[in-house]
Amino acid sequence: MPDSPPPIDIPASWPIRLFSRGLLRFFVYGGFFVYRGTMKVQGKEHLDGLDQVVLVANHRSIFDTPFIFLNMPRSIRQRLSPVGGLDFFRPEPVHPLWARLWRRVVILFIRGCLNVALIDRQGGKYSELERLNALVELGWSLMIFPEATRSRSGKMGRFHRGAAELARRHSLPIVPINIAGSEKVLGVGMRWPRQGHVMIRIGEPIDPSTAASSLELTQLMKDRIAALGETAA
């Protein structure tokens, strides 16, 4: 009998969640106040009546995760786990001591405030799709950026099929989300946040059974997200 997949360390203990989420809200909303930014959300009505879903979105900024997470209804947010790259945050022996300690603090923080499930995109035990499969079986919703990395050009890159595969396995509705403007707040290569105007557009849920394969479903997700962005033009 194969070994069970290693657990993903969420949720964090309630004191860590309480502190981390309060700090997150202070940073996000306080930051928008200081930098005179705005954030608007359209299409929340498409989430009515949903409790377990797979959210999929384009990816422009490291802030995309908290921006989307904080704007989900409580019925979804309380059991929502964004999927992140462990290799992006993981301390490495080549890092100086202060950097290794800082990265450990960041991992603890994002797990506490956002329930982030960290997987290793470069292989190893953290790369197993079965770990996310087990998370869904426990009743968690997932937030996945199918590009697996932030866009440098503003255009969407190639979508990976993991989100489609998980949705098909569990017959979960897929909610497409287009986020725009977050790259102005903190884009790739920026060290400090700046003033920006963020728009989050939530589309109608996609029934995974409408696609014949994970590949077809992945393309449908990408087309829906792109169409949400085109409505802004």
- Nearest alpha-carbon partner for 198 in 22, 31, 24: 31
Residue 56, beta-bridge partner list: 144, 176
195 found inside a domain: yes
Task: Give the pLDDT of residue 207.
Answer: 97
5 found inside a domain: no
185 found inside a domain: yes
61 found inside a domain: yes
**Which parts of the chain have pLDDT scores under 70?**
1-7, 121-128, 231-233
2 found inside a domain: no
82 found inside a domain: yes
Task: Give the pLDDT of residue 19.
Answer: 92
What is the rounded distance in angstroms from the CA atom of residue 71 to the CA atom of residue 191?
25
What is the rounded distance in angstroms from the CA atom of residue 201 to the CA atom of residue 132?
25
Contact 61, 183 (CB under 8 A): yes
Burial of 56-86, coded b for 16+ CB within 10 Å and e otherwise, reads: bbbbbbbbbbbbbbbbbeeebbebbbbbbbb
Q: What is the CATH number of the domain that holds 128?
A: 3.40.1130.10
For 69-196, strand residue ranges (E) read 80-85, 117-119, 141-144, 174-180
1 found inside a domain: no
Total-model pTM: 0.89
Side chain identity, residue 139: G
Provide the domain count of the chain. Answer: 1
What is the rounded distance in angstroms from the CA atom of residue 199 to the CA atom of residue 204?
17
Task: Give the pLDDT of residue 34.
Answer: 86
The average confidence (pLDDT) of the chain is 89
- SS3 helix, strand, coil % of the chain, rounded to 5? 45, 15, 40
Which domain does 170 fall in, by range?
A: 14-230
Q: Is beta strand 117-119 parallel, antiparallel or unpaired with respect to 174-180?
A: unpaired
